[in-house]
Amino acid sequence: MEYFTQQLINGITLGAIYALIAIGYTMVYGIIGMINFAHGEVFMIGAFISIITFLLLGLFGITWAPLAILVALLVTMALTPLYGWALERIAYRPLRHSPRLAALITAIGMSIFLQNYVQLVQGARIKPLQPVVTGGIEIMRRDDFVVTLSTMQILIVVLTVTLMAGFTLLIQRTALGRAQRACEQDLKMAALVGVDVDRTIALTFVMGAVLASVAGLIFLLHYGVVDFHIGFNAGIKAFTAAVLGGIGSLPGAMLGGLLIGLIEAFWSAYFSVEYKDVAAFTVLIVVLIFRPTGLLGKPDIEKV
Amino acid sequence: MNALPLLSVERLTMRFGGLMAVDDVSFAAETGHITAIIGPNGAGKTTLFNCLTGFYAPTSGLMRLAHDGGEFLLERMEGFRIAARAKVARTFQNIRLFRGMSVLENLIVAQHNRLMRASGYTLAGLIGLGVYRDAERQAVERARYWLEQVGLTALADLDAGGLPYGDQRLLEIARAMCTEPRLLCLDEPAAGLNARESAGLNALLTFIRNTHRIGVLLIEHDMSVVMSISDRIVVLDYGRKIAEGAPEAVRRDPAVIRAYLGEEEGAP
């Protein structure tokens, strides 16, 4: 029971990161029907911008955790989206009316480009960060097995839930969110009622990047290390989460992220760490066999 | 009164390879008039609409819209600016609603630009500032007004895709009106409507013309609708304009009769 609880906590933490990235995949897919494979790299850049901010703050002697995290959060949320915006503007928009394969290959190309760019500029070595947040609450104990909920994990969950609530509000309640949902259903018709479709798509990339940048910050705080390669694995997992939840569906991305996180945590705990990726992908395959649209996806009715 | 007509189409040509879908067509449409565009299938009516609303870039020709002291050359504008600035709205032969959104939301999305401006491009909207809430209340009011005009008030919260066919047509017109257009282009709004619905449509279009004083372009096959409500008729055949004038004159025009009934003269 104690072990189970600890893994549950760990799984939720991991799931929060996946879910934040998965939203970016699912939104972009929903609106222009392409998989932005470079999205994982945006997450990685978010993590790098965070670590650079922490190190700079350290140079100026600002190490008080709440302030440092707040500054890093604001900086990464402000700068990372520029990459998301530029990706759309430079690489994807010119190809919007090309065959899907062209956009897909471009996305993979951008992913490789961004990885190499960071490798070149920041070096290939793993970059460590001193733990910023320490401490935690002991919630259970049996003999010498202690279940702890670390302050870090509380912070991650609070941050993720707040962000997702705000985000849901934005999609449901604001003119921009409404325009995004309209574009998702019919781009041309949206233009005909006066929605600036190009700007709406650009903002979708920006919003996805904001969430991914926070995921990057969380990853950095949680694991304490980053390198230029973290975007690949996290990106694939988050993409899996989006497909599992039903690509195009926002609640689906959140649920899918959480599930993938939990599956990984529990599989590592009870079976073997080596095969945790296999477990996650197996669940994906099984779900897709029985529900091709994912858990919360709507069946795509052929337009007449 | 403006010196220029609301819409003047001059020598508009749209060629697809060897096919002249619209061939050197010129006509004008006035504010406060319903201008019907009729013609046999394949005459180029919908292509004309597609040029007007930015779906196609015409091969040559000019489409000038003039209102409120401004002039807009539609062939040089992007699709969404035609809706947002030139204030042209349209409906489709095969209805294109945002099916997954509620009836009311379909009408609010159509007021996107006003709301975006009021929400300070979303920031104010996100933190719920008063300006935005006022703007949103106005948007809902306008939506309710049009729901009432088309008789869909009771269905406001349903998914648009779930409405009966006739109601979807009405909702599409209401949505077009929520963009506050100066020129409303309706592509076969009476198609698939029964006699009662069709009469309701006549009343609605007359109301829009008389009360809101905008120009209406109407593509329609149902001659009872065309003859009873239009002020002017433009007849196309094989992409060319073969007649233009008041309904009575067009009805008697030999060229029109020939286009509709075949070469043999002496039709009733």
The confidence score (pLDDT) of residue B267 equals 47
The confidence score (pLDDT) of residue A144 equals 77
CB contact, 8 Å: A192 with chain B? yes
Instruction: Out of B53, B89, B126, name the one closest to residue A170 (CB).
Output: B126
- How large is the ipTM? 0.82
The confidence score (pLDDT) of residue B54 equals 87
CB contact, 8 Å: A193 with chain B? yes
CB contact, 8 Å: B119 with chain A? yes
Collapsing DSSP to helix, strand or coil, A125 comes out as coil
The confidence score (pLDDT) of residue A303 equals 43
User: What number of CA atoms fall less than 13 Å from residue B128's CA on the CB side?
Assistant: 4
Does B125 sit within 8 Å of A173, measured CB to CB?
yes
Does A181 sit within 8 Å of B79, measured CB to CB?
no
Collapsing DSSP to helix, strand or coil, A53 comes out as helix
Biggest CA pair distance of chain B: 71
- B130 to chain A nearest CA, in Å? 13
Cα torsion angle, A138, A141, A143, A146, sign: negative
Cα torsion angle, B50, B52, B53, B54, sign: positive
Collapsing DSSP to helix, strand or coil, A215 comes out as helix
Does A166 sit within 8 Å of B126, measured CB to CB?
yes
- CATH homologous superfamily of B1-87+182-268: P-loop containing nucleotide triphosphate hydrolases (3.40.50.300)
Does B122 sit within 8 Å of A169, measured CB to CB?
no
The fraction of chain A above a pLDDT of 70, given in percent, is: 98
Instruction: Specify if A174 maps to a domain.
Output: yes
**Bridge-based pairing state of the strands B240-245 and B88-90:** unpaired
Give the number of other Cβ atoms within 10 Å of residue A1's Cβ: 8
For residue A157, report the phi and psi dihedrals to the nearest 5 degrees: -65, -45
The fraction of chain B above a pLDDT of 90, given in percent, is: 34
The confidence score (pLDDT) of residue B35 equals 93
CB contact, 8 Å: A1 with chain B? no
CB A261 within 8 A of CB A12: yes
Instruction: Out of B99, B126, B178, name the one closest to residue A185 (CB).
Output: B99
Chain B residues lying within 8 Å of A179, measured CB to CB? 109, 112, 116
d(CA A250, CA B154): 29
Does A186 sit within 8 Å of B112, measured CB to CB?
no
The confidence score (pLDDT) of residue B233 equals 92
For residue B26, report the phi and psi dihedrals to the nearest 5 degrees: -130, 135
Domain count, chain A: 1
Q: What is the b/e burial string over A179-211, where b = at least 16 CB atoms within 10 angstroms of the residue's CB?
A: bbbbbbbbbebbbbbbbbbeebbbbbbbbbbbb
The confidence score (pLDDT) of residue B123 equals 59
Question: At A258, which amino acid appears?
Answer: L
CB contact, 8 Å: B79 with chain A? yes
Instruction: Out of B83, B84, B116, name the one closest to residue A175 (CB).
Output: B116
The confidence score (pLDDT) of residue B1 equals 46
Instruction: Specify if A6 maps to a domain.
Output: no
Instruction: Specify if A19 maps to a domain.
Output: no
B97-180 to CATH, choices 3.40.50.300, 3.40.50.740, 3.40.50.970, 3.40.50.2000: 3.40.50.300
Chain A nearest-CA residue for B174: A193
The residue of B109, B126, B140 whose CB has the most chain A CBs within 10 angstroms, and thus the best one to mutate to test that interface, is B109
d(CA B7, CA B54): 15
To 10 degrees, what angle do helices A39-59 and A65-86 make? 140
Chain B residues lying within 8 Å of A162, measured CB to CB? none
Would you tell me which residues 232-271 of chain A have a C-beta closer than 8 angstroms to some C-beta of chain B? none
The answer to whether residue A255 scores a pLDDT higher than 70 is: yes
Instruction: Specify if A171 maps to a domain.
Output: yes
Question: At A212, which amino acid appears?
Answer: A
Does B112 sit within 8 Å of A195, measured CB to CB?
yes
| Domain residue extents for chain B | 1-87+182-268, 97-180
d(CA A161, CA A154): 11
Confidence of residue A115 (pLDDT cuts 50, 70, 90): very high
Does A176 sit within 8 Å of B116, measured CB to CB?
yes
Chain B residues lying within 8 Å of A189, measured CB to CB? 96-98
Fold matches, B1-87+182-268 and B97-180: yes
- B161 to chain A nearest CA, in Å? 11
Chain length of chain A: 304
Q: What is the dihedral of CA A125, A130, A136, A140, to 10 degrees?
A: 40
CB A180 within 8 A of CB B110: no
Confidence of residue A302 (pLDDT cuts 50, 70, 90): very low
d(CA B48, CA B36): 12
Does A179 sit within 8 Å of B112, measured CB to CB?
yes
Kindly state the DSSP code that residue A91 receives in the 8-state scheme. I
The confidence score (pLDDT) of residue B3 equals 67
- Listed as own residue / partner, the contacts of A62-69 with beta carbons closer than 8 Å and 24 or more positions apart are A65/A132, A65/A133, A68/A132, A69/A132, A69/A133, A69/A155, A69/A217, A69/A221
Q: Which two tokens stand for residue A271?
A: 């079976």
The answer to whether residue A183 scores a pLDDT higher than 60 is: yes
The residue of B77, B80, B127 whose CB has the most chain A CBs within 10 angstroms, and thus the best one to mutate to test that interface, is B80
Does A304 sit within 8 Å of B109, measured CB to CB?
no
- B124 to chain A nearest CA, in Å? 9
Does B96 sit within 8 Å of A176, measured CB to CB?
no
**Three-state secondary structure of chain B:** CCCCCCEEEEEEEEEECCEEEEEEEEEEECCCCEEEEECCCCCCHHHHHHHHCCCCCCCEEEEEEEECCEEEEHHHCCHHHHHHCCCEEECCCCCCCCCCCEHHHHHHHCCHHHHHHHCCCCHHHHCCCHHHHHHHHHHHHHHHHHHHHHCCHHHCCCEHHHCCHHHHHHHHHHHHHHCCCCEEEEECCCCCCCHHHHHHHHHHHHHHHHHHCCEEEEECCCHHHHHHHCCEEEEEECCEEEEEECHHHHHHCHHHHHHHHCCCCCCC
End-to-end CA distance of chain B: 40
Instruction: Specify if A95 maps to a domain.
Output: yes
Angle B153-B158-B161 from CA coordinates, rounded to 5°: 115
Does B83 sit within 8 Å of A192, measured CB to CB?
yes
The confidence score (pLDDT) of residue B258 equals 84
Chain A residues lying within 8 Å of B178, measured CB to CB? 193
The confidence score (pLDDT) of residue B126 equals 58
d(CA A118, CA A123): 7
Chain length of chain B: 268
Does B100 sit within 8 Å of A178, measured CB to CB?
no
Which pLDDT tens digits describe chain B residue by residue (268 residues)? 446 889 999 999 999 988 889 999 999 999 999 999 998 888 889 999 999 988 888 999 989 988 888 888 888 888 788 888 888 999 998 889 998 899 999 999 999 888 887 766 555 555 556 677 788 888 899 999 999 999 888 998 989 888 988 899 999 999 999 999 999 999 999 888 888 888 889 999 999 999 999 999 999 888 888 888 999 999 999 889 998 999 888 888 888 888 877 765 554 4
The confidence score (pLDDT) of residue B215 equals 92
Instruction: Specify if A271 maps to a domain.
Output: no
Q: Which two tokens stand for residue B225?
A: 């609708």
| Segments forming the whole domain that contains residue A98 | 24-121+131-237
Would you tell me which residues 34-63 of chain B have a C-beta closer than 8 angstroms to some C-beta of chain A? 53-55
Instruction: Specify if A220 maps to a domain.
Output: yes
Instruction: Specify if A112 maps to a domain.
Output: yes
Which pLDDT tens digit goes with each residue over B62-87? 899 888 888 888 888 887 888 888 88
Would you tell me which residues 30-69 of chain A have a C-beta closer than 8 angstroms to some C-beta of chain B? none
